[in-house]
Amino acid sequence: MTGQPGLNALRAEKLDRILEVARDLARPADMESLLYRAVDAAKDLLDAEGGTVWRYLAATNELETAAARGLSAIRIPAGVGIVGECLRTGALINVPDCYADPRFDRSMDRRSGYRTRCLLTLPLVGYDDFLVGVLQVVNRRSGVFDAEDESLASVLAGLCAVALQRAQLTQRLLESEKLSQEIAVAREVQMSTLPKAPPEVPGYDLAGAFRPADETGGDTYDFVPTADGGVMVLMGDATGHGIGPALSATEVRAMLRIAQRLGAGLDDTFRHINDQLLADLPDDRFVTAFLGHLDPSAHTLRYHSGGQGPLLHLRAADGSCISHMPTTAPLGAMPQTSLRSPHVIHLEAGDLFALLSDGVFEYHDGAGREFGEAAVADLLRRHQDKPMTEVRDLLLHALAEFGRGTPQLDDISIVLIRRLPAARQAATATRDFARALGALDEVFEFLGGTLSARGIGSGDRYAISLAIEELFTNMVRHNPAGSGRIGLEVTCGNKGVTCRLTDPDSERFDITAAPDADVSSPAERRVPGGLGIHIVRRLVDSIDYDYSGRRSRITFHRALSGTSSVEAVARRSRTSDGPSRQATSGMLPEGGGGDAMFEIGYGPEGTIAFSGRLDAAQCAKAEQFVSAANGARIFDFSALEYISSAGLGVLLKAHKRLLASGGRLRLVNVNRHIYDIFRFSGFDQVFDVERAGS
């Protein structure tokens, strides 16, 4: 995002007020008082009569007022009224006439004697996109709430979410009996604020890492996408170690994100953060920080470096490594009355830009020698063609090898930015398909060609193809009368594959909010419904839903098997019933989605032999044959390459028929991929399954 030196007075005034609230919320204090201050700020900025914060109580599935003057604490079921819908959908709700809206719960007005005319309700989204409650602002003094009010309220809702999570953390700290437990919680909170993964930027490869020297550290980094398609890049290093510097570093990151929500440019953001830290920090404290804007269309990196350096620019053309020094004083050290123009780096194809904290350059071995800038440059030069996540890990490994057990004395932060050579830049393929299961052959052909051309491995091809089939089939079956063809967009990057399916004419159905299938029920109570979404969640790293007009859009991302996020996999393995996505990435057979057509027939000794790809379009054929083969108990899968949730439905029906006559379905020669699908869905506990080669 380019600088905006002409921020109007109204925007600047509101930015200052919001930064003041952010500063107050960052300080240890009574959280209830701070929540009231946030509500007061919402009333002031939005010219509203009142406001309330509702806290979500997961244990009882209720909402409770946490900041409502003149009212004692009120609890309501989480699904009641507009506030309940906001919590469930995670979407902002603007109601211009409450009594004309059937969702509005009038019992609150009857209880308080107050009449609510118009209402703005926003989800409180904390770190990790976790809903912690709801903010409501009522009765704009003049007219109703407009789009500008929605934008400002969204920023304030983010601050309230941070306050609620911090209140929960404080409660945990008060209940802790040992200091080590308190520090562990603080470290967990600090690490949770770091990016889980960098954003996908066309033509670029980004990576970052933070390794604190103590339980908590004073470093931070962030990648913040901007409205112009670029990315704000931050790396900061607060003086000292421990909880104090960690809070300073976290404050810098929070203020950057708030400034970006308000549309501030690079110069204004740097200046505002500096002035706020100057007012907040003791005289002997400051934060060295790099703040830059990466423009992937112009291939430039514009930045201010407040005391942060050296910054290394490795040029692919000649292998030279240029060292850039800081451009200005550290944040919070002195007033920035006349900030110089940003420094500009032009990135050519293959160039690499490295932001490294002094904990990297000054890493010591047992003899007191430093790792140094030359060793860093040499490592970057030798490995520049590898993925940046791998280069990052190689650098961390090199530091550990150099230290040979010497304690790490300073925090380590690493941010790597590389412009990819043309051959490795992301490629996007699009096609639309008829709204019919018969189009699945075309879908598989398109996917196979697109993914194979980009060098995507067979295991990833298989998983992506299965996820696409499940989502495409859902769109066809649940909206057969919709108009228009279903669009499919596949973007292959060097880190992973992003797929987007678009139905131009449909009712709203948010699959991300759909409950997981119950995979623990016995066979007689099992139904195949919901299994498709259940399986998709275990094949991809993220999935999002967007609905506008009558257009439904589902987007998912799968990291390639060799570059999966350890954090994301660990998080999934804690929350899913089946094995994690990483646990299956090496267990998928060749074929990448099943290239052969489906066939079914009798095998030796009365078995039924399946071969090829049992997708949703082939289920009628399979069901007709299996139903006619009365009493067949053994299905031979030695030639079956692929099965989807629709195919599981065929097997479940056959199994139930056998149970009614005292029998049981037995599946033999099951390949590893299909066995994984059985495990995801719990069918490994329903059928008698013999794996191939066992």
What pLDDT, on the 0 to 100 scale, is given for residue 299?
A: 93
Question: Same domain, yes or no, for 251 and 332?
Answer: yes
| Rounded Cα gap, residues 388 and 208, in angstroms | 9
Give yes or no: residues 667 and 632 share one domain: yes
Question: 478: domain CATH number?
Answer: 3.30.565.10
| Counted domains in the chain | 4
503 shares its domain with 538:
yes
Integer angstrom CA distances of residue 27 from 96, 170, 241, 572: 36, 12, 18, 33
Q: Are 208 and 224 in contact (CB under 8 A)?
A: no
pLDDT along the chain (694 residues), means of 10: 42 71 65 76 86 85 79 82 89 93 83 87 79 89 89 82 72 55 50 72 88 66 87 78 55 73 81 79 75 92 87 90 88 77 91 90 86 92 88 90 80 90 75 92 88 77 91 90 92 86 92 80 67 87 90 92 36 36 37 60 89 89 88 88 88 87 88 84 85 76
The answer to whether residue 163 sits within a structural domain is yes
Q: Which residues contact 61 (CB under 8 A, 6 or more apart)?
A: 77, 78
Instruction: Pick the last residue of a domain from 585, 609, 639.
Output: 585
Give exposure, 507-522, as e/b (b: 16+ Cβ within 10 Å): eebbbeeeeebebeee
433 phi and psi, to 5 degrees?
A: -135, 155
pLDDT score at 563: 37
Q: Tell whether 181 is covered by a domain.
A: no
C-alpha 127/C-alpha 153 separation (Å) is 18
Q: Which two tokens stand for residue 244?
A: 């104090």
**Residue 4 is assigned to a structural domain of this protein:** no
**Tell me, what CATH number does 655's domain have?**
3.30.750.24
User: Any idea of the CA torsion for 500, 503, 509, 511, to the nearest 10 degrees?
Assistant: -20
- Which amino acid would we find at residue 72? S
Tokens representing 248? 């300073």
- Residue 254 has which token pair? 């929070």
Q: Which of 138, 172, 206 is the last residue of a domain?
A: 172
- pTM above 0.75? no
CATH number of domain containing 74: 3.30.450.40
Same domain, 161 and 247: no
Single-letter amino acid code for the residue at 226: T
What range does the domain containing 19 cover? Answer: 9-172
For strands 666-670 and 634-643, give the pairing. Answer: parallel
Q: What is the model's pLDDT at position 570?
A: 31
* Structural domain contains residue 1: no
H or E stretch at 54: strand 48-57
Instruction: Flag whether 53 is in a domain.
Output: yes
Q: Is 484 found in the same domain as 463? A: yes
Residues 410 and 453 both lie in one domain? no
pLDDT tens digits, residue range 520-529? Answer: 777 667 666 6
Question: Does the residue 180 lie in any domain?
Answer: no
Please check whether residue 360 is in contact with residue 312, taking contact to mean a CB–CB distance below 8 angstroms. no
Residue pair 231/294 in contact by the 8 Å Cβ criterion: yes
Query: Which of 604, 487, 489, 596 lies closest to 552, judged by CA?
Result: 487
Is there a single domain that holds both residue 416 and residue 429? no
pLDDT one-digit tens code per residue, 288-320: 888 899 999 999 999 998 888 889 999 988 889
What tokens were used for 288?
């060295």
The pLDDT of residue 265: 83
> Which pLDDT score is estimated for 24?
67
What CATH number is given to the structural domain containing 399? 3.60.40.10
> Any residues with CB less than 8 A from the CB of 85 and at least 6 apart, and which?
79, 93, 103
Q: What is the pLDDT of residue 56?
A: 86
Q: Where are the beta strands (DSSP E) in 191-320?
A: 204-211, 219-225, 231-238, 287-295, 300-306, 311-314
Same domain for 373 and 430, yes or no, is no
What CA–CA distance (Å, rounded) separates 467 from 497?
12
For residues 65 and 201, state if they share a domain: no
Q: Is residue 348 part of a domain?
A: yes
Q: Which two three-digit tokens encode residue 51? A: 């406001």
Query: Looking at residue 117, what is its pLDDT?
Result: 92
Question: Nearest to residue 593, comparing CAs of 613, 609, 610?
Answer: 613
Cα separation, 256 vs 92, whole angstroms = 23
Residues 183 and 166: their CA atoms lie apart, in Å, by: 14
pLDDT tens-digit profile of 396-416? 999 988 988 787 767 888 999
> What are the DSSP calls for 122-152, one per residue?
EEEE-GGG-EEEEEEEEEESSS---HHHHHH
Residue ending a domain, among 550, 585, 620, is: 585
Question: Are both 442 and 331 inside the same structural domain?
Answer: no
Domain identity same for 429 and 417: no
Determine the angle formed by the axes of helices 147-175 and 243-261, rounding to 10 degrees. Answer: 170
Distance CA 306, CA 284 (A): 16
Q: What is the CA radius of gyration of the chain?
A: 28
Structural domain contains residue 415: yes
Whether 413 and 435 share a structural domain: no
